[in-house]
Amino acid sequence: MSAVATNGRIQAGGVYYMISRSLGPEFGGSIGLMFTLANSIASATYIIGFTDSLKDLMYYYFDGAKIIDGAVNDTRIVGTVTLIGVLGLAIVGMDWVTRVQMGLLLLLIGSQVDFVVGAIMGPQGDEQEAQGFIGINSELFSRNMGPDYRKFEGNTQGFFSVFGVFFTAVTGIVAGANLSGDLKDPAVAIPKGTLAAIATTFVSYIIFPVLIGAAAMRDASGNTTLYQLYRNQTMEDPDTPYNFWENPVFTSESCSKTGGTDENMKEPCEFGMQNSFQVMELMAAWGPLIYAGCFAATLSSAIGSLVGAPRVLQALAKDKLYPGIYLFSKGSGANNDPVRGYVLVFIISFVCIMLGDLNLVSTLLSNFFLASYSLINFSCFHASLIKSPGWRPGFKYYNLWISLVGGILCLIVMFLIDWVTALVTFIITIALYLYVSYRNPDVNWGSSTQAQTYVSALNSTLDLNMVEEHVKNYRPQLLVLSGEVRSRPPLLHLAHLLTKNISLLICGHVIQTEPSQRVRNSLSKQSYTWFTKHKIRAFYSVVEGMTLEHGAKSLCKLVGLGKLKPNTVLLGFKSNWRKCDKNELRAYFNTLQNTGQNLTPQDIGS
């Protein structure tokens, strides 16, 4: 993405703008709509995560406090109120969004430091130890290193089912790119900001699981009395070393692995990193700050998604690739804020919040983002492969093959997470691609697909020179002396019947005067417009300042390329030959004779 972002000027639209200007409107349009939908869903996902943390805070710190049921209905109520607040912040303007984001960032950094300090300090009492936090221990880290997938909501989980939910936590790395229209210098800011976001995210998501795995048990009942009893009995016997993992509080005798009730102890397994979402709060130096960090992370991501999605939609609407969405192109205020887009994203996010299930929307969201990332990688690969003259990115630290591998891996992961959702994503992308391709919008963005068309045509023409002629492959390649194409429709329709759009057809126009360049361009435009209207695939060539016989002779010698040259000349029958001037008839006869002499005979093998 850094390479694509530094290849020329980046305007508003973020990822959509990059892909559409690199791969063309077909891919860009499909990804633009999907990316808008993905960010709309992402905003709801982050808000659901915020409400889940808030419900946990109310339950543990306010004696099980709840609004209605402490479950999905509370998620809907709190989520809706939060979404309205985020929408209000976005409408106020980017200045306030930036200020709030900076405050949330400071809060997030503080919570991360709080967790690391608490993990290093270790447990501060028997209650924390009974709940599974025993402090950093190398043997515990070794025991927790392997996988331990379990059933959740009746389904046995695996690596990719968990990855599909987790992946939504790292989709915010392109939030800065989506605000490309608001950046002072996108070509500088996007690579630096995105790479910095990836680096800090990578470090955070590596350090935190390592600390949790090294200091927290997978299962713990939280029974302080039982924990103290076993520890004291063991420590009274000097011949028996005390091991945390042998304490019944941390074994299956105390709690079942699914969080149920053991038949012997009759005590629920509420704690441990496999059962409690509050394990980071348990390990932190000051627990409430972890909740503040969760609130900061989720709200910051929700704001970024809700602010970014309408801007992508606004850029897409301005390009008029899809009918009916142009109304979202208009903004308001000094920053051209897409208020209409805000309302649409609000509605989509509201519907997702009403579902109230974080895991339900995470898989679909992950697939949409992975599809976008795959096309970004493919954009870089394709532009590098065809060596387009316009491909000169300022960011040099990229490799086309790594880009290709990255794009393929994104597709593979999509199917490994959920092949049904991946298939749906593919169908949506292809349908949107075909629709834009069918509409054939009048845009010229200098995309790599246009460059690919040139390279393919050039290579095919060169390869054709090495192909020997054979009678089975013979095609009439016509030079039609049509003059101005719209003046002789029957002649061109006859030529079309002979070529049927699968053979070369060139319409030659001999002008005895020397027209201006404007007239030449106008004639060419009119000719190709006529071809398109009548669904005839042909070329138009004009020579000037010559008589008919000399112009036809020049056309026979000059038009064509390689083996794509005329082997047949078609011209209208001179029906008035009995009455016309003799010089005119002689010129017509010389034209027939000259064209026949100038068409190179070809040996056609049998």
Q: What is the DSSP string of 136-150?
A: --HHHHHHTSS----
Q: Which pTM does this prediction carry?
A: 0.71
3-state secondary structure of 545: coil
Q: Quick one: how far is CA 269 from the chain centroid?
A: 41
pLDDT digits (tens, 9 = 90+) for 445-482: 666 677 778 788 888 888 888 888 778 778 888 888 88
pLDDT category at 262 given cuts 50, 70, 90 is: very low
Q: In terms of residue numbers, what domain contains 422?
A: 2-220+271-432
Distance CA 19, CA 133 (A): 47
Residues 6+ apart with CB under 8 A from 597: none
pLDDT value for 408: 92
SS (H, E, C) 156-167: ECCHHHHHHHHH
CATH code (residue 168)? 1.20.1740.10
pLDDT value for 222: 79
Average pLDDT value for residue range 13-25: 75
Q: Could you tell me if residue 242 is inside a domain?
A: no
Distance CA 342, CA 474 (A): 60
Q: Could you tell me if residue 266 is inside a domain?
A: no
State the Cα angle at 161 between 160 and 167, rounded to 5°.
75
Q: Could you tell me if residue 79 is inside a domain?
A: yes
Q: Could you tell me if residue 262 is inside a domain?
A: no
Distance CA 58, CA 70 (A): 9
Average pLDDT value for residue range 508-535: 88
| 332 and 425 both lie in a single domain | yes
| 71 and 120 both lie in a single domain | yes
pLDDT digits (tens, 9 = 90+) for 82-137: 999 999 998 888 788 888 989 998 999 999 999 999 999 988 888 888 888 888 98
Q: Could you tell me if residue 450 is inside a domain?
A: no
Host H or E run for residue 481 = strand 478-481
User: 480 pairs with which residues across the strands?
Assistant: 507, 570
Distance CA 557, CA 544 (A): 15
* Helices 159-166, 358-386: inter-axial angle, 10-degree rounding: 90
| 487 and 389 both lie in a single domain | no
Radius of gyration from C-alpha coordinates of the chain: 35
Distance CA 345, CA 337 (A): 14
Q: Could you tell me if residue 74 is inside a domain?
A: yes
Distance CA 56, CA 277 (A): 9
Q: Quick one: how far is CA 166 from the chain centroid?
A: 18
| 428 and 492 both lie in a single domain | no
Distance CA 121, CA 285 (A): 8
Distance CA 40, CA 34 (A): 10
Buried b (16+ CB within 10 A) or exposed e, 453-468: eeeeeeeeeeeeeeee
Could you tell me the strand order of the sheet in which 568-571 lies?
A: 539-544, 505-511, 478-481, 568-571
Average pLDDT value for residue range 215-234: 79
Host H or E run for residue 396 = none
Q: Could you tell me if residue 440 is inside a domain?
A: no
| 342 and 483 both lie in a single domain | no
- Assess contact for 294 and 278: CB atoms under 8 A: no
Distance CA 23, CA 592 (A): 47
DSSP assignment of 265-318 equals T--B--BSTTT-TTHHHHHSSSHHHHHHHHHHHHHHHHHHHHHHHHHHHHHHHH
Distance CA 562, CA 600 (A): 12
Among 84-88, 258-262, 508-512, 532-536, whose mean pLDDT is lowest?
A: 258-262
Say how many domains are in the chain: 2
- Assess contact for 149 and 258: CB atoms under 8 A: no
Q: Is the pLDDT of residue 264 over 50?
A: no
| 428 and 529 both lie in a single domain | no
Nearest to 541 by CA among 515, 507, 517: 507
CATH code (residue 483)? 3.40.50
Average pLDDT value for residue range 4-30: 76
3-state secondary structure of 26: helix
Average pLDDT value for residue range 510-533: 88
Average pLDDT value for residue range 362-384: 80
Q: Is the pLDDT of residue 261 over 70?
A: no
Distance CA 273, CA 482 (A): 81
pLDDT digits (tens, 9 = 90+) for 316-333: 888 888 888 888 888 887
| 539 and 421 both lie in a single domain | no
- How many other C-beta atoms can be found within 10 angstroms of the C-beta atom of residue 337? 22
pLDDT value for 601: 54
Between these two residues, 315 and 242, which has the higher pLDDT value? 315
pLDDT digits (tens, 9 = 90+) for 569-594: 888 887 787 788 888 788 888 888 77
- Assess contact for 74 and 66: CB atoms under 8 A: yes
Query: Looking at this protein, which amino acid is placed at residue 234?
Result: T
pLDDT value for 195: 86
Distance CA 90, CA 304 (A): 9
Nearest to 296 by CA among 428, 108, 458, 27: 108
| 502 and 404 both lie in a single domain | no
Q: Could you tell me if residue 455 is inside a domain?
A: no
User: 156 pairs with which residues across the strands?
Assistant: 151
Residue 10 has, within 13 A of its CA and on its CB side, a CA count of 34
pLDDT digits (tens, 9 = 90+) for 31-62: 788 888 888 888 888 898 888 888 888 877 77
